[in-house]
Amino acid sequence: MPAERPAEPLARSGPAPRVGVVHLGLGAFFRAHGAVYLAEAMAATGGDWGVLGVSLVRPDMRDALAPQGGVYTALELGPDGETARRVESVVGVLVAREDPAAVLEAMADPAVRIVTLTVTEKGYRHEPATGALDLGHPDIAHDVAECLPVSAPGFLVRALQRRRAAGVAPFTVLCCDNLPENGRVVRGVTLALARRIDPALADWIAAEGRFPCSMVDRIVPATTPATIARVAELTGRADAAPVQHEPFRQWVVEDDFVGGARPELAAAGAELVADVAPYEGMKLRMLNGAHSALAYLGYLSGRETVADAMADPVLAAFVRRLWRDEIIPVVAAPPGVDLSAYADALARRFANPAIRHRTWQIAMDGSQKLPQRLLASLDLNLGAGRPAPGLALAVAAWMRYVAGVDEAGGPIDVRDPMAARLRALSDAAEGPQAKAAALLSVAEIFPPALARRLAEPVGAACARLAEVGARRAAADLTETAP
């Protein structure tokens, strides 16, 4: 038989747009979400809003996208089939660790009006429990002393410093990470670092800069070799960097930009609002909180993906109970939103069998995610005098997970910036309740007042996990037989 003909290389269909956005952290999520919105906004209303991506450390994304001119395929995975589309809003990629000066030069260009970020919670070099800049972090110490930075806050500050020196207006900083009041957090760490470098610079940023909050929502599983092969099969084009995502998407943006300069995101379906907080609180607690609970309990129960967890009647009943009894009571609904209907829609999205969103992937960086995803809801319930055993069990499952040994005695590949410290604390304590107390002592995650209130319920949940395992412990809180 003749050899199968290789797929044609992916290429841009027309002239690239001019760069108007620099994006720090060009991973799968932004390319499946923000870059798609920008492509659609430019298609609908024009404008120079091409994206120059920046990989802060690794060259992989640059190396994959450069031969394709920044073009890639977004593969939508619906319950009834797949849809592939070409995305052409990204026009290039820089690697900050290789050439930080080139990144600063690009960010200082007056044509760049917006800098967006998806660097994950840990990328802001802040303390998750307080939101304050971690001045003791070695990257921050470096960025105070050196003009060529290594951290995301460092690039923001040093680029803004260049713009101020050149008499150029600041760019708008638009955070697209899952942080409560994400714009406020990024503004806080940026100003704190700027003040260490030059107080006058910090005053200028505070007066002239804008840091709108935003809420982003789309489930984006990691790209795998199978994804690359499937895209080639569907499109007839070789794509080294496709992304895959669910059909649903949402982007709610606080309409506060320097000089009002922004793409017409509403033309692509984004919501421009005066206050993002209700949308953000709903999504962080209901979607992300439930995702984290399913990730830890599901992983410990041997469920590889969220869809696998939702196919388990015990875990599905647990997460529905979590929404009904412990999360919805502490969420302020955005205007016109029915929270019970939102929970039903989340359950359908989680159960989508076409989305292989691994519990291990969601479980990453839990020390950075717990405060906003689970602890905020726990705190509000306990403050109202309501027990929250489901949320306490989710926190206990995280504690069991970061101890690094699964229920069968096998090792867990824990990916977390505090992994070594958390493992050492757990290993040094004898018994599940002592381990819980040791981990609750980590003030960067658990504020001391909350840690004291969590000692009994989380300690009891850890003991129950050790006794009967994650799935049976979840079944204890529902009417579902284990």
Cα gap 472→301, rounded to integer Å? 9
What CATH number belongs to 8-273?
3.40.50.720
Cβ atoms < 10 Å from Cβ of 407:
16
The closest of 367, 474, 361 to 416, measured between CA atoms, is 367
The pLDDT score that the predictor gives to residue 4 is 52
The identity of residue 175, as a single letter, is: C
Q: Give the three-state DSSP class for 422.
A: helix
**Domain limits, the chain:** 8-273, 277-476
The pLDDT score that the predictor gives to residue 341 is 97
The pLDDT score that the predictor gives to residue 248 is 95
Average pLDDT over residues 169-193: 95
Tens of pLDDT, residues 384-428: 999 999 999 999 999 999 999 999 999 999 999 999 999 999 999
Round the average pLDDT of the chain to a whole number and report it. 95
The pLDDT score that the predictor gives to residue 67 is 94
For the chain, the residue count is 482
Q: Is the pLDDT of residue 171 over 70?
A: yes
Residue 1 binned pLDDT confidence (cut-offs 50, 70, 90): very low
Average pLDDT over residues 5-29: 89
Overall fold of domain 277-476: N-(1-d-carboxylethyl)-l-norvaline Dehydrogenase; domain 2 (1.10.1040)
Paired strand residues for 272: 253
CA dihedral 370, 373, 375, 380 (to 10 degrees): 170
